[in-house]
């Protein structure tokens, strides 16, 4: 195995792929018509896209053409992922001596022709300070190639298992209970003495009850599937409380707009980690349900409910981010979202006292 050598260019590419995929959580992007370059994506990283360009760039004109083509592809990715600031890193493995790298908006360009170039690349070391250490291996030749490809494949298999677990169909437990509970509250509202239960769960309008419960069920099943029973219940209660507190200011009933838009906020948070899913769920579920509920608001002339819905959406987004998402937990995001959730709740309470 050791007698079989790998050229230095392929070795650098394999080591870079190993580092960005196994250590930095990047995923390969399949792009049609792209040759001699590898695109990696991590929308939760500073660099959303990393390109490893292996074709020979022999002059500045060819570099400019490469940048122009890259920007066109990036615009297409932005439309599909709703990422408006797509900072990109282009790593050139085979750059001519007479080529001068330039400054490009939202795109850093580096040349790594030999492994020693990593040590002098300020751009890479600033963003990835451990890259030199992580790219050192005892193995060489075919042993190195086998190790790198094996690690990458194991990482991809592990990530695929996680994604399948997140998106697999799960039997809802919480949402049917909430729907039935709301229906019972509606049917027996006259005999219920607890005003707090009525405030959080009761709607006096039979038409809005039907619309609200149908919307809550469709959205809630997704939310419970992604976040689990307990987190979905917390999201439901927190967004409801936020909406109800604002409705007190208008001295009017909040209804089910609170749970509907609270769940929408939770799904939007989920979509920030799974961008392709966000586009799909917006088109097929979130936007249609939001339009139906907003249409009811306009017909009933209860315009204050639009503000209630917005506050509930913000509450659902913040609390779902504070609770964290399996395999995507970020301590900074969680702490910041907990603080923002407390501030939102405190502000709504303060407004009521004022």
Q: How far apart are CA 155 and CA 17, in angstroms?
A: 12
* Strand ranges (E), 42-83: 49-53
* Helix orientation angle between 304-323 and 287-300, rounded to the nearest 10 degrees: 150
Question: Do 292 and 257 contact (CB within 8 A), yes or no?
Answer: no
Q: How far apart are CA 313 and CA 239, in angstroms?
A: 7
- pLDDT at site 64: 92
Within a domain: 318: yes
Q: What is the pTM of this model?
A: 0.78
Compute the half-sphere exposure of residue 255: CA atoms within 13 Å on the CB side of its CA.
28
* 37-41 sheet: strands from edge to edge: 27-29, 37-41, 49-53, 88-92, 107-111
**Do 202 and 118 fall within a single domain?**
no
**Do 176 and 50 fall within a single domain?**
no
**Do 35 and 64 fall within a single domain?**
yes
Structure letter (DSSP) for residue 46? S
Secondary structure class of 325 (helix, strand, coil): coil
**Do 250 and 280 fall within a single domain?**
yes
**Do 99 and 143 fall within a single domain?**
yes
Within a domain: 85: yes
* Joined tokens for residue 219: 């959205």
Question: Which residues are within 8 A (CB) of 49 and not within 5 positions of it... i.e. 6 or more apart?
Answer: 29, 39, 40, 41, 74, 77, 86, 87, 88, 89
In sequence order, what are the beta bridge partners of 88? 49, 107
Q: How far apart are CA 257 and CA 143, in angstroms?
A: 60
Within a domain: 2: no
pLDDT in tens, 172-229: 999 898 888 877 777 766 555 546 444 554 455 666 777 888 888 999 999 999 999 9
**Do 234 and 87 fall within a single domain?**
no
Last residue within a domain, chosen from 119, 138, 165: 165
**Do 159 and 179 fall within a single domain?**
no
**Do 80 and 107 fall within a single domain?**
yes
Helix or strand holding residue 206 (H, E): helix 206-227
Q: Rank 89-93, 255-259, 277-281 by mean pLDDT and report only the highest.
A: 89-93
Q: How far is CA 170 from CA 25, 225, 266, 277, 286, in A?
A: 26, 6, 17, 17, 20
| Domain boundaries, position 315 | 171-353
pLDDT in tens, 140-174: 788 888 888 898 899 888 888 888 888 888 889 99
Last residue within a domain, chosen from 141, 165, 189: 165
| Alpha helices per DSSP H over 251-330 | 257-273, 275-281, 287-300, 304-323
Helix or strand holding residue 39 (H, E): strand 37-41
**Do 257 and 177 fall within a single domain?**
yes
Within a domain: 3: no
CA 309 and chain centroid, separation: 22
The alpha carbons of the chain give a radius of gyration, in whole angstroms, of: 26
Residue 344 banded pLDDT, cuts 50, 70, 90: very high
pLDDT in tens, 239-259: 999 998 998 888 777 778 888
Backbone φ and ψ of 53, nearest 5°:
-100, 115
**Do 334 and 195 fall within a single domain?**
yes
Domains of the chain: total: 2
Residue whose structure tokens are 């097929």: 284
Helix or strand holding residue 89 (H, E): strand 88-92
What's the mean pLDDT when you consider all of the chain?
A: 86
* Joined tokens for residue 2: 């050791």
């Amino acid at each position: 195995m050791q007698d079989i050598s790998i050229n230095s260019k392929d070795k650098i590419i394999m080591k870079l792929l190993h580092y960005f995929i196994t250590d930095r959580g990047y995923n390969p992007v399949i792009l049609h018509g792209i040759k001699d370059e590898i695109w990696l994506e991590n929308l939760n990283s500073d660099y959303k896209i990393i390109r490893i360009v292996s074709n020979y760039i022999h002059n500045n004109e060819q570099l400019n053409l490469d940048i122009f083509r890259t920007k066109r592809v990036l615009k297409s990715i932005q439309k599909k992922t709703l990422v408006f600031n797509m900072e990109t890193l282009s790593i050139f493995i085979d750059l001519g001596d007479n080529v001068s790298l330039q400054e490009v908006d939202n795109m850093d360009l580096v040349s790594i022709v030999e492994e020693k170039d990593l040590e002098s690349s300020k751009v890479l070391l600033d963003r990835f300070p451990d890259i030199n250490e992580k790219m050192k291996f005892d193995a060489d030749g075919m042993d190195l190639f086998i190790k790198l490809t094996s690690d990458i494949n194991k990482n991809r298999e592990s990530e695929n298992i996680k994604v399948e677990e997140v998106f697999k169909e799960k039997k809802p437990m919480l949402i049917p209970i909430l729907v039935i509970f709301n229906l019972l509250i509606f049917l027996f509202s006259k005999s219920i003495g607890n005003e707090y239960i009525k405030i959080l769960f009761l709607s006096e309008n039979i038409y809005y009850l039907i619309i609200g419960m149908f919307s809550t069920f469709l959205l809630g099943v997704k939310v419970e599937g992604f976040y689990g029973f307990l987190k979905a219940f917390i999201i439901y209660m927190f967004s409801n409380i936020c909406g109800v507190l604002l409705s007190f200011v208008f001295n009017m009933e909040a209804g089910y707009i609170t749970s509907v838009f609270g769940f929408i906020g939770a799904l939007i948070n989920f979509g920030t980690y799974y961008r392709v899913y966000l586009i799909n769920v917006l088109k097929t579920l979130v936007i249609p349900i939001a339009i139906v509920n907003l249409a009811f608001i306009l017909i009933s002339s209860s315009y204050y409910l639009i503000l209630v819905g917005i506050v509930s959406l913000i509450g659902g987004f913040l609390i779902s981010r504070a609770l964290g998402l399996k395999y995507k937990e970020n301590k900074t995001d969680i702490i910041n979202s907990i603080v923002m959730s407390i501030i939102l709740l405190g502000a709504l309470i303060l407004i009521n006292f004022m």
